[in-house]
A and B are shown apart, each in its own frame.
Chain A
Amino acid sequence: MKSINFGIDLGTTNSLITKYENGKVTIFKHPIGHKETLASVVAFRPGRTLVGDKAREFLTKDPVNIFANFKRRMGTDDKFYVVNLDENVTPIELSTLVLKELKQFVYSGEEVKAAVITIPASFDTMQSNATKKAGLAAGFQEVLLLQEPIAASLAYFNNQENNADRNGYWLVYDLGGGTFDIALMQIKDGEMKVIDHEGNNFLGGADFDFGIIEKIIVPYVTAQFGIENFEEELRKNNGKYEQLFYELIYKSEEAKKELSQQAETQIDFTLDGREVLLSISREDLENTIQARVAETITMLKSILSRNELGTKNIEEILLVGGSTYIPYVRQQLAEQTAIKVNSHIDPTTAVAIGAAYYAANKYYQPKEGVALGDSVEDMLNQLSGIEAEDAALETFPDISLTVSYSQMSKDTEEVMIIKANGNWEGKTYRIIRSDGGFDTGFVPVKSKFTEFLPLINNVNNIFYLRLYDEDQDEIKAALQEITITQGQFNIAGQPIPQDICIEVDDKENHTTKLEVIFEKNAVLPQKKTLYREISKTIKQGSEDSIIINILEGDRNARALSNLVIACIEISGKELTSDLIKGSDIELQITMSDNRELHTEVFLVMTQQEFKNAFSLSEKHVNIDRLKEQFIDLENEIRNSIKMFSYDENDVWAIQANDFLKELMQHKNELFKLKEDDRTDAKYVIAEVLNRVSQAYDKLGGEDRLERLRYEYLEAKEYIENHLPMADFKKEELAQSYSKLLKGEHQVLISRNPSILEKATEKMNSLAWDILWNTLSYIISRYEGFKGLKPDEFKNYQGVQPIFRSADQALSGERYHEFRQHVYSITHLLVHNEYKIQNDDFKGTGIG
């Protein structure tokens, strides 16, 4: 096992590569120009491919063959058409080119076999996997992923100047070229941990650049030159002003940077043969970015309130990412939060440096063999290694040591665990610190042994682990040099940015719900076994199936709004016998440090096992399930439109109507689809559903949420007033109410309107239950039923005996019986007030 040591910041705008060695981190520079950063830009010129600043130069000259900001498209199906090649490239392929270029920075000629690559903390599993794939395609044998705020923290706190022993909370505010992350970090007793985080993968400098175009340039041009559809032609593919668009993006970015240093700047460009010179002030820029910066501060405050911390509990906000150079950003943070803002960390290099610190304590198993591209030195080393091994083989055929320790520590001692493999009996070991200040003496080797190594403060502590044979002769080939740098932080592990859930049937409500497998902020790796039961019978050989959907997102949101990261569908055709409803299913779910998900399913009744290691290329959509989700969403939006209209909230009603229209465009097509359809239609529709669902959830913003909370609390108050008056099933109703209250806190702090709507719906449903178990109410409704006309009953003759029985029960004070009769009458009404149940509910089959 070798430690990885190399770190890479694969940024939206710029990328870097670093290495940890002997307590220090080196930032590699471009061999030509000696710049630390590599622009994340790829240019496909005729006959050659350029990466970096050279590529960037062509952004305005040949924009259709130049690609930037593709990090934001990782994990999507997007493809970029390259005119010069007449073919498409994917975001992964573009990232691979950047990574390959970075490897050239390593001037020592050392082949970079493994690396830690940083990702935004809010990258979902698909985006993370895409990044890893890019790394493997770039030739790395092993790629580990590290969240950017963690990397920045490691860089900051392992800087000697910041290395005071202190406990407390810090916020890492990472506003980069394309993504935004805010992480709450805690240091306690020498340990650094991520407590919580928020982020937005589409909020960064690139959006500010576009804001300048959208809000300053376009209005100016439209006003000055009266060009029709200027913005549309600017934005659309193959539009009249497509080339101008890329030029404006480039120049807006330059203007934005200049405005960090000066109060005003100018953008010049040619439009339809005319020279245009536009002045932009810092204030103009601030106006365009105000809303988005406010968004970041809202997320910051949300993290604090979620963790019940005040601004006074936070030591500092650490700024990371190029966009934090903008004075307005720093000013707003200071004003809005009253927390000390620390901008001393170099926002451009911090993430890459932190990645190297992390890489120092991560190991990989190098693959054997001399690879093309290995340096001569490498080959010689390998050969000498083989010779040494041969020598060892001659005398001691089978012993090797696996050593585990941390290369950095804040403590005055560090533990080392050594596993001896092979013929260790009779042998001894000795560990000596290079200054002689520590010596274990000769200790008999065991199959596994532990040593605590004392450290000298703030230096690299070097230890030598030596192995001796039965004759006390040293086995030279087994010598290991161990270096531990005292005074540096390591990180315990990386948290998951979102809940990982399984979709299960909620038969009661004829829908599905999400159950958490791994909670947001759980530290990876994680493994869990779930025991569930099958909620419907699947006949052997039938078309019916059970669907195991693993989703990433918000546990309280509907399944549709979350991202499916794994899916196993087991159809009847795969079963060796019938699978009866109620039988058990065991699900073992593992998520690695790298967010790779592995699921194993065991059907107890049929004794069958199914495995699924999630692959980026697998997208699975079950059409029946898609249809159900479509109907659910359609109904929900329709109900909302009614409510908005009732409340005279036209704006929301119109927006909701737009969502509905978009949805309905696909309805016919969806309901014509069969399971064996080979087109992409189901994927397209699934994507539309997901997008509309998420957008619908955001409709109305804070106002809508406030209103929904108010409605919820109203419903709750109603129950509290009426529950004591219930005459039947009081305890059961009280229990139902307690059950609803259990999740109340999460409901009220949720930013998802559908969660609040569902919770209010449940409260209202319970309120109806209470009324229908309150004698006075039942009697009053009964009297009402008696006054109904015959055509309001499904069977007027049939209901008469029930009325008679009810009268008798009421006069005999047999209230329980009376209640049953009244219930029976309600079932004979034409206009039944109860919800119409979807009896064909298929669901996932997991209950």
Chain B
Amino acid sequence: MTFISIIRFFNYCGIDAAQAVPGNIPRIKKQIAAEFSLVPNGIIEIEGTVYNKQDVFSILEAPDFAEILAHQQTINEHEPLRLFLEKGIASDELAEHVEILKKEEGFVRYVSKYFAPLFNREMKRRLSTFDFESAADWIPNCQLLLTTDGEQAFQYTSTFLEENLRLFKNLNKTTFLSRKAEVTPWTGNWARFMNWLPDMIYAQKEELAIQLINFCVEIQHADVSYCYWISSQMVQLDYLDDSNTQLIRDNHVIYESKAAGTNAVPQSVSKKYRKENNKTFNYIWIALLAFFIITRLVGSCDKNSSGGKTNFEDYHLDVKTIISLNAITKSRALTPAEISNSDKKDNKSTEGYLVAYLSFLNHPEDSNYKYVLSIKNKTGIDLSVQTPFEEDLFLFDLDKDSTVTISKGTLNNIDLLIMPIDSTKDEVERFDIKNNFYLAPKDLKTFKTTYDDTTMLHLLLPDPENVLECELNIVNNQLVLTGRDFKIIKSLTPGKK
């Protein structure tokens, strides 16, 4: 579908958009009809955009015209988006505006059908020169798309993958040499591009990856460098199943050793290999990977030493697992208003526990960061920390003065339910709904104006590859979690100490 700006057309006709209310539409239509009668061929062209009467009237006559107008005004206010929708020009600033607008569901529903064909064209423009980096940079803009428009938006990408799949399928070590130029683009940085492509073309992604595995095997002797470079990208793929991922890694070790001592293995390439690619949070791909890796730290079991790290065993709670999971699920849905209402309730059930829900935003400049969370227990009491992992729950003890380190991996968020290990013995009452907390950056006000989701709080990590260190304390009878760049903002009712 082609986007036409009704606002621009109103300006042309001297119609005040504010006057475009239901009762006034017939009048406006008359004026517009008269405008079209003035031009000889019945078509009005405004700065390259073509308007015909039927298209304009169909917008005016739409039952949700008021909503459409509001969305069009939004587009008008975001010049890079308007430029893109009208002329297909993708400026550097567009991404910024997409980030702002992607959260407005109604707007996305409106703009998606116009955005999709242009998104596809822009993707084509970038991929036609095998500019994988720029194509990868372009992908996050799909956050203005609905899944129903995904096929159209990624149509060229699908074709591109299929064509290249055919290429690799039909090359052997001999024919490869005469067609090397066609393979050369795949020696660059394409892993991020492939990782970020949506699930809807997963089958093609997978097939291409598998074909590349075979291809590398085929050419490993014919061209060590090409083999290594391609493999270096493949090890960064994060969407394959375990067996293929392992196969790629195993093969890469061999290719790396073959390529050692050649100019195929510069430092920068090695470094890139180690980085993990993080999946962008997309509006339309709502299910985030909700797992993380808990690293076991082998170290001293001295629980009395401060700064020591705890050995712990992961084990599942059979009885309370489901209850806790339910608690976490329910708690996520609570709003601050509901939390404060619960102050009045005396709810001591485990189901009332709130969670600390940590969500990590990608660094604005580079999303290849590994997030590591380190929590030190400085409350003076032994705590247990529960966190859901896939369909299950992990529980680990966090003794006083102990530290647990959690490596995020590809995760964007962590749910933590923190409570005393044994409420009967501890000096602090069981943490009930009143005694829980949530995290926020230091500047809550700015944060709240930027993010409106009040049950999921987002932390912007300042530096790459740093460990986010935080401590659990009891301050003024409140459980407090503090860190370098965030602090607790509220604890509802103090427990006794």
8 Å CB interface, B375-423 against A = none
* Cβ A731 vs Cβ B41 within 8 A: no
* Cβ B26 vs Cβ A735 within 8 A: no
Please give, as numbers and ranges, the residues of chain A lying within 8 Å of B43 by CB-CB distance: 525, 527, 590
The answer to whether the Cβ of B263 comes within 8 Å of any Cβ in the partner chain is no
The answer to whether the Cβ of B175 comes within 8 Å of any Cβ in the partner chain is no
* Cβ A417 vs Cβ B38 within 8 A: yes
8 Å CB interface, A413-447 against B = 413-417, 419
Please give, as numbers and ranges, the residues of chain B lying within 8 Å of A414 by CB-CB distance: 30
Please give, as numbers and ranges, the residues of chain A lying within 8 Å of B2 by CB-CB distance: 528
The answer to whether the Cβ of B493 comes within 8 Å of any Cβ in the partner chain is no
The answer to whether the Cβ of B33 comes within 8 Å of any Cβ in the partner chain is yes
8 Å CB interface, B30-80 against A = 30-31, 33-35, 37-38, 40-43, 50, 52-54, 57
* Cβ B30 vs Cβ A411 within 8 A: yes
Binds B, one of A382-390, A392-400, A402-410, A696-704: A402-410
The answer to whether the Cβ of B27 comes within 8 Å of any Cβ in the partner chain is yes
* Cβ B54 vs Cβ A523 within 8 A: yes
CB of A461 to closest CB in B, whole Å: 15
* Cβ B52 vs Cβ A731 within 8 A: no
* Cβ A527 vs Cβ B38 within 8 A: no
* Cβ B52 vs Cβ A404 within 8 A: no
The answer to whether the Cβ of B186 comes within 8 Å of any Cβ in the partner chain is no
CB of B268 to closest CB in A, whole Å: 32
* Cβ B50 vs Cβ A405 within 8 A: no
CB of B436 to closest CB in A, whole Å: 40
Q: Which of B30, B54, B128, B207 contacts A526 (CB 8 A)?
A: B54
8 Å CB interface, A24-67 against B = none
Q: What per-residue 1/0 map shows which CB atoms of A733-776 lie under 8 Å from chain B? A: 00100010000000000000000000000000000000000000
Complex Cα distance, B54 from A630, in Å, reads 39
Please give, as numbers and ranges, the residues of chain A lying within 8 Å of B31 by CB-CB distance: 415, 417, 450
CB of B272 to closest CB in A, whole Å: 29
Binds A, one of B97-105, B197-205, B456-464: B197-205
CB of B127 to closest CB in A, whole Å: 11
* Cβ B41 vs Cβ A417 within 8 A: no
Q: What per-residue 1/0 map shows which CB atoms of A506-527 lie under 8 Å from chain B? A: 0000000000000000111111
User: A404-B37, A529-B50 known; A732 and B203 CB under 8 Å?
Assistant: yes
The answer to whether the Cβ of B266 comes within 8 Å of any Cβ in the partner chain is no
* Cβ A417 vs Cβ B34 within 8 A: yes
* Cβ B34 vs Cβ A731 within 8 A: no
Please give, as numbers and ranges, the residues of chain A lying within 8 Å of B203 by CB-CB distance: 729, 731-732, 735
Of all chain A residues, the one with the shortest Cβ separation from B57 is A492
Complex Cα distance, B6 from A506, in Å, reads 36
Q: Which of B27, B33, B151 contacts A452 (CB 8 A)?
A: B27
Complex Cα distance, B36 from A361, in Å, reads 12
Complex Cα distance, B283 from A638, in Å, reads 51
CB of B22 to closest CB in A, whole Å: 11
Please give, as numbers and ranges, the residues of chain A lying within 8 Å of B202 by CB-CB distance: 731
CB of B30 to closest CB in A, whole Å: 4
Please give, as numbers and ranges, the residues of chain B lying within 8 Å of A732 by CB-CB distance: 203-204
CB of B33 to closest CB in A, whole Å: 7
Q: Which of B35, B52, B57, B200 contacts A735 (CB 8 A)?
A: B200
Complex Cα distance, B54 from A528, in Å, reads 13
Of all chain A residues, the one with the shortest Cβ separation from B15 is A450
* Cβ B37 vs Cβ A493 within 8 A: no
Of all chain A residues, the one with the shortest Cβ separation from B204 is A732
Complex Cα distance, B202 from A735, in Å, reads 11
The answer to whether the Cβ of B173 comes within 8 Å of any Cβ in the partner chain is no
User: A450-B14, A729-B203 known; A531 and B34 CB under 8 Å?
Assistant: no
The answer to whether the Cβ of B121 comes within 8 Å of any Cβ in the partner chain is yes
* Cβ B54 vs Cβ A493 within 8 A: yes
The answer to whether the Cβ of A592 comes within 8 Å of any Cβ in the partner chain is yes
Complex Cα distance, B26 from A189, in Å, reads 9
* Cβ A416 vs Cβ B50 within 8 A: no
Q: Which of B53, B151, B204, B207 contacts A523 (CB 8 A)?
A: B53
Please give, as numbers and ranges, the residues of chain B lying within 8 Å of A361 by CB-CB distance: 37
The answer to whether the Cβ of A569 comes within 8 Å of any Cβ in the partner chain is no
CB of B231 to closest CB in A, whole Å: 20
* Cβ A590 vs Cβ B41 within 8 A: yes
The answer to whether the Cβ of A593 comes within 8 Å of any Cβ in the partner chain is yes
Of all chain B residues, the one with the shortest Cβ separation from A742 is B151
Please give, as numbers and ranges, the residues of chain B lying within 8 Å of A415 by CB-CB distance: 27, 30-31, 33-34
Known: A414-B30, A493-B54. 7 other contacts (CB 8 A): A405-B34, A415-B33, A450-B31, A523-B54, A526-B54, A592-B42, A732-B203
- Those 3 A-B pairs whose CB atoms lie nearest each other, nearest first: A732-B203, A523-B54, A525-B42
10 A-B contacts (beta carbon < 8 Å): A415-B30, A415-B33, A417-B34, A417-B38, A528-B50, A729-B203, A732-B204, A735-B200, A735-B203, A816-B210
